[in-house]
C-alpha cells in the first residue's frame, strides 16, 4: 500500500465507522431495540474491515518511483568533509 493509499484508508475507516455508529444508534433508538443497534454496528464494522484491511489495488495507484541504481552511480555521493567541519564548529 502506498502513501496515498494509507491516507485514504485511514480517512475511509474513520468516516465509515462513525457513520455506521450514527446509523446504528438511530435505528436502535427508533425501534427501541438495543440488539438491533449492536447488530447494525457489528455489520458496519465487518463491512469497514473488508473495505480497509485488505491491500486492494485501489490503494496502490501512486507507487513510489525510486531511482534506478545505474542513474544513482552517475552522480557523486555527498562528501563526508561537510559533516566533520560541522562537528568542529559545534565543539568550538
Partner 1 sequence: MHSFGYRANALLTLAITILAFMCGIASFSDNFNTPIPTTEVQVLNINWFQKKPDGDDEVSLTLNISADLQSLFTWNTKQVFVFLAAEYVTPKNALNQISLWDGIIPTKEHAKFLIHTTNKYRFVDQGSNLRGKAFNLTLHWHVMPKTGKMSANKLVMTGYRLPETYR
* Residue numbers at the binding site for partner 1 (CB under 8 A): 1, 6, 9-10, 13-14, 17-18, 21, 24-25, 28-29, 31-34, 37, 41, 45, 48-49, 52-55
Task: Between 22 and 67, name the residue whose CB sits nearer to partner 1.
Answer: 22
C-alpha cell at 64: 513510489
Give the Cα separation of 62 and 51 in Å (integer). Answer: 19
CB-based burial label for 24 (10 Å; 0-12, 13-18, 19+): buried
Task: Between 54 and 78, name the residue whose CB sits nearer to partner 1.
Answer: 54
Task: Between 3 and 73, name the residue whose CB sits nearer to partner 1.
Answer: 3
**DSSP code for 62:** S
Amino acid at each position: 500500500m502506498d502513501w496515498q493509499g494509507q491516507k485514504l484508508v485511514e480517512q475511509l475507516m474513520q468516516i465509515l465507522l462513525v457513520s455506521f455508529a450514527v446509523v446504528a444508534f438511530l435505528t436502535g433508538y427508533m425501534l427501541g431495540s438495543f440488539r438491533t443497534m449492536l447488530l447494525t454496528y457489528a455489520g458496519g464494522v465487518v463491512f469497514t474491515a473488508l473495505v480497509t484491511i485488505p491491500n486492494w489495488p485501489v490503494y496502490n495507484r501512486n507507487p513510489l518511483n525510486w531511482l534506478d541504481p545505474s542513474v544513482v552511480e552517475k552522480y557523486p555521493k555527498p562528501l563526508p568533509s561537510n559533516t566533520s567541519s560541522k562537528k568542529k564548529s559545534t565543539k568550538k
